[in-house]
């Protein structure tokens, strides 16, 4: 988990508000993936990023490889956004492998 550090570890959000999650890398990350693990335990793919920014509905993610971080922004949070968000990074030195952070637990309150 130290190679990929996620913050905050937990987050409680009022429905309709915005928030940001962050990952800092101590490896030379080349690509980043963000996942949402729902209460049933399934990992849902949110974003696959090379350096740059992607947007999908109320979610937006940026990967800055030079400064070794990635962010995930949640806009207008909904109850179904609750779960644990994981980021994972691949580095050239690590071959075909992803290194995961320990996750950010998000609870959206009505």
Partner 1 sequence: GGIITQTPKFLIGQEGQKLTLKCQQNFNHDTMYWYRQDSGKGLRLIYYSITENDLQKGDLSEGYDASREKKSSFSLTVTSAQKNEMAVFLCASRPEDGSSYEQYFGPGTRLTVL
Report if residue 27 touches partner 1, rule: CB under 8 A: no
Applying CB under 8 A, among 14, 42, 53, 92 the residue interacting with partner 1 is 42
Nearest approach, Cβ of 37 to partner 1 (angstroms)?
Answer: 9
In the numeric block, the tokens 């993936």 are attached to: 33
User: How many Cα atoms sit within 13 Å of 88 on the Cβ side?
Assistant: 19
Report if residue 91 touches partner 1, rule: CB under 8 A: no
Q: Which of 90, 83, 91, 86 is nearest to 102 (CA)?
A: 86
Report the C-alpha dihedral over residues 107, 109, 11, 51, rounded to 10 degrees: 80
Rounded Cα–Cα distance for residues 73 and 28 (Å): 22
Report if residue 25 touches partner 1, rule: CB under 8 A: no
Report if residue 31 touches partner 1, rule: CB under 8 A: yes
Report if residue 33 touches partner 1, rule: CB under 8 A: yes
Name the residues that contact partner 1, by CB under 8 A. 1, 4, 31, 33, 35, 40-43, 45, 48, 86, 88, 90, 95-98, 100-103
């Amino acid at each position: 988990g130290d190679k990929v550090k996620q913050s905050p570890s937990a987050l409680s959000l009022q429905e309709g508000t915005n928030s940001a999650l962050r990952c800092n890398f101590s490896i030379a990350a080349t690509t980043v993936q963000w996942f949402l693990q729902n209460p049933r335990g399934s990992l849902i793919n949110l974003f696959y990023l090379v350096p740059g920014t992607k947007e999908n509905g109320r979610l937006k993610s940026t990967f800055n490889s030079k400064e070794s971080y990635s962010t995930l922004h949640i806009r207008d949070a909904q109850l179904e956004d609750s779960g644990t968000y994981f980021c994972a990074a691949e580095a050239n030195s690590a071959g075909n492998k992803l290194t995961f952070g320990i996750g950010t637990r998000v609870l959206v309150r009505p």
